[in-house]
Amino acid sequence: MGLDTNYLSSHRGIIKIAQIIIGIVITSLVCGNVFGHGSCFKEGRISYTSGLNSVVLIINIVFLILNLLELSQLSLERIYTFVCTVLFLIAAILLIWLIVVNDHRGGYITITVLIVVQFLLFLWDSKILQGEASNW
């Protein structure tokens, strides 16, 4: 068990760090009082997004630490990445639905864009784990 500093310079390492940073930003936007809703779980579609993001943020931090310590679980990460790709796609659809139906603008658009970025990062990570894209 050593420290794999090369992981941070690989595409997967950069993706994982980006996912963590974006996850923190999403949490602060959804759960903060920035847009006047003041609660992470006030409305169903927001609750789904907030809950998903919170759980994924914690798991991403765990996977980052495991990969840095050369304890990666590629088969588990493959499944996790696929599931998160689907779940973030659903979250993006739910937020777009919220924006359209309730005529919300502003903050929800920012959150939706960040959720779509998370979806795309998980999709890219999935391609790397399946060998369809390069990790370097």
List all residues 6 or more positions away from 42 whose beta carbon is below 8 Å from its beta carbon. none
What pTM did the predictor assign? 0.89
Longest CA pairwise span in the chain (Å): 52
Residue found under tokens 């798991």: 59
SS3 of the chain: the string is: CCCCHHHHHCHHHHHHHHHHHHHHHHHHHHHCCCCCCCCCCCCHHHHHHHHHHHHHHHHHHHHHHHHHCCCCCHHHHHHHHHHHHHHHHHHHHHHHHHHHHHCCCCHHHHHHHHHHHHHHHHHHHHHHHCCCCCCC
The span from the CA of 123 to the CA of 4, in Å, is 24
Contact 62, 1 (CB under 8 A): no
**HSE of 7 in the Cβ direction (CA atoms, 13 Å)?**
17
Q: Which of 24-38, 59-73, 88-102 has the lowest mean pLDDT?
A: 24-38
What mean pLDDT, rounded, does the chain reach? 88
Mean pLDDT of 97-113: 84
Mean pLDDT of 51-63: 96
Pull the structure tokens for residue 120: 């795309």
